[in-house]
């Protein structure tokens, strides 16, 4: 198995190289430049030309790409044009925020989704199932950003229960107060993200439970004289959770996509918001670094899913 994992990682190398070239070229293909608008408006065209030249932006693309790769291997992703700070440091700060928010959302998602999916599946066709299915359909139909905006308006603005921007209150003093404030800021985006994220899992889990209920091995268990509650515990739940467990790897990618919406709407200083801002400022170094990071995480997520699946399902072996 380790051999295969190693081989999969080696295969990822050309994937990442191709990905990085595409990302690099796409970023360059965007119209505009990083300097117009960010320096003194009275600065002439000549000065912008000068800045472009100094930063090597007039070199042929392969030259620029090569320079970028060489720097990359020195752990240097360049400097942000927007913030005049090393890209690594900027992303590092935001990554921590995104990581905490994502982790919180994931835990919350599974805490809500698993009991709901199992309950709906077990009581298929009864009232609780109908209510849960109604909830999933409604949530599924509403676009994510509408949920976010509605959530902010109701809970942040009308009711005023939660903060609507930022990741921590500037007035928070002391370690505990800071942690408390951070958690308080994560609550609303986390809950809204989780509510949206549950839909797929609930629907999937429900149908898995419904299928498992009428499966032949459950019939065998009944013929053994196993009480129905034990059949749920020992057979149905475990077998239905299997594909959900395998989802975990993929959910990393899903969360990053979600972060772009959530962080923009909540002005939450994470990687999603950074990404959106960098695009509008043509902050090439940040964009390329972020897209590359997302891409690598994506590839790792897929690998992780395969590994998890091979661990939990004896029928699947990575060889």
Partner 1 sequence: MATEKILDVRDVSTAFKIDGHFYDAVTHVNLQIKKDEILAIVGESGCGKSTLATTIMGLHDPAETKISGEIDFEGTNLVGLPEDKYNKIRGAKIGMIFQDPLSSLNPLKRVEDQIKEVMDYHTDLSSEKKHARVIELLSQMGIVNPERTAHQFPHELSGGMRQRVVIAIAIACKPDLLIADEPTTALDVTIQAQILDVLLNIQKENHAGIVLITHDLGVVAQTADKVAVMYAGQIVEYGSTKQIFKTPKHPYTRSLLRSIPQLGGESDDLYVISGNVPSLQKMPASGDRFASRIPWIPASDHEKNPQMHEVSSGHLVRCTCYKSFYFPDQKKKKVANELN
Partner 2 sequence: MSLIEINNLKVHYPIRSGFFNRVTDSVKAVDGISFNIEKGQTYGLVGESGSGKSTTGKSVVGLEKVTSGSILYNGVDITSEKNRKKLNYNRDVQMIFQDSLSSLNPRKRIEDIIAEPLRNFEHLSKNEEKMRVLRLLDIVGLSVDALYQYPHQFSGGQRQRIGIARAVATNPKLIVADEPVSALDLSVQAQVLNFMKKIQREFGITYLFISHDLGVVRHMCNNIAIMNKGRLVEVGSRDDIYNHPLHIYTKRLLAAIPQIDVDHREEHREKRLQIEKIYQEQSSKYYDQNGLAYPLVKVSSMHSVALPPQEAKKYSEKEVEV
Q: Within a 13 Å sphere around the CA of 237, how many CA atoms are in the beta-carbon half?
A: 12
Is residue 222 close enough to count as binding partner 1 by CB under 8 A? yes
Cα–Cα dist 72/61, whole Å: 16
Nearer residue to partner 1 within complex by CB, 89 or 234: 234
- Is residue 233 a contact point for partner 1 (CB under 8 A)? no
> Which of 211, 246, 239, 219 lies closest to 122, judged by CA?
211
Residue (of 291, 316, 293, 296) closest to 306 by Cα position: 316
Question: What gap in Å lies between CA 196 and CA 113, rounded to an integer?
Answer: 10
317 binds, among partner 2, partner 1, none (CB under 5 to 8 A by kind): none
Say how many CA atoms lie within 13 Å of 69 toward its Cβ: 14
Residue from the set 1, 5, 7, 295 that interacts with partner 2 by CB under 8 A: 7
- For residue 229, the minimal CB distance to partner 1 (Å) is 10
Residues near partner 1 (CB under 8 A), total: 21
Number of residues that bind partner 2 (CB under 8 A): 4
- The binder of 23, among partner 2, partner 1, none, by C-beta within 5 to 8 A per type, is none
Assess 319 for contact with partner 2 (CB under 8 A): yes
Contact call for residues 48 and 35 (beta carbons, < 8 A): yes
3-class SS at 10? helix
Q: Examine residue 89 and tell whether it contacts partner 1 (CB under 8 A).
A: no
Question: Which residue bears the tokens 């515990």?
Answer: 233
Q: Of 138, 228, 233, 267, which lies in the binding site for partner 1, with binding defined by CB under 8 A?
A: 228
Nearer to partner 2, 6 or 154 (CB): 6
Q: Which stretch binds partner 2 (CB under 8 A): 3-11, 162-170, 202-210, 216-224?
A: 3-11
239 lies in the binding site for partner 1 (CB under 8 A): yes
User: Between residues 3 and 315, which has the closer beta carbon with respect to partner 1?
Assistant: 315
Q: How far is CA 215 from CA 222, 225, 227, 232, 292, in A?
A: 11, 16, 16, 12, 44
Contact between 122 and 232 under an 8 Å Cβ cutoff? The reply is yes
3 binds partner 2 (CB under 8 A): yes
Given the rule CB under 8 A, which residues bind partner 1? Answer: 215-217, 219-228, 234-235, 238-239, 242, 313-315
Write out the residues near partner 2 by the rule CB under 8 A: 3, 6-7, 319
């Amino acid at each position: 198995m380790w051999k295969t994992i190693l081989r999969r990682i080696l295969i990822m190398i050309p994937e990442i190289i191709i990905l990085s070239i595409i990302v690099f070229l796409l970023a360059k293909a965007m119209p505009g430049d990083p300097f117009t608008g960010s320096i003194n408006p009275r600065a002439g065209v000549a000065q912008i030309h000068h800045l472009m030249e100094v930063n090597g932006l007039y070199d042929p693309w392969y030259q620029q790409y090569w320079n970028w790769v060489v720097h990359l291997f020195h752990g240097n992703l360049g400097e942000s044009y927007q913030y005049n700070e090393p890209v690594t440091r900027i992303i590092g700060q935001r990554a921590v925020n995104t990581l905490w928010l994502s982790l919180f959302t994931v835990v919350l998602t599974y805490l809500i989704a698993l009991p709901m999916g199992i309950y709906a599946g077990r009581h298929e066709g009864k009232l609780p199932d109908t209510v849960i299915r109604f909830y999933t359909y409604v949530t599924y139909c509403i676009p994510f950003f509408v949920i976010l905006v509605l959530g902010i308006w109701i809970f942040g603005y009308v009711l005023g229960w939660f903060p609507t921007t930022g990741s921590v209150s500037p007035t928070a003093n002391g370690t505990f107060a800071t942690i408390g404030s951070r958690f308080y800021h994560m609550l609303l985006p986390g809950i809204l993200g989780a509510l949206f994220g549950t839909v797929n899992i609930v629907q999937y889990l429900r149908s898995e439970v419904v299928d498992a209920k009428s499966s032949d091995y459950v019939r065998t268990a009944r013929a053994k004289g196993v009480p129905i509650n034990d059949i749920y515990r020992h057979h149905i739940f475990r077998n239905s959770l299997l594909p959900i467990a395998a989802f975990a790897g993929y959910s990393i990618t899903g969360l990053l996509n979600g972060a772009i919406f959530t962080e923009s709407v909540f002005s939450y200083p994470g990687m999603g918001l950074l990404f959106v801002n960098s695009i509008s400022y043509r902050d090439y170094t940040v964009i390329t670094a972020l897209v590359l990071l997302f891409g690598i995480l994506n590839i790792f997520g897929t690998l992780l899913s395969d590994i998890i699946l091979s661990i939990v399902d004896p029928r699947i072996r990575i060889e």
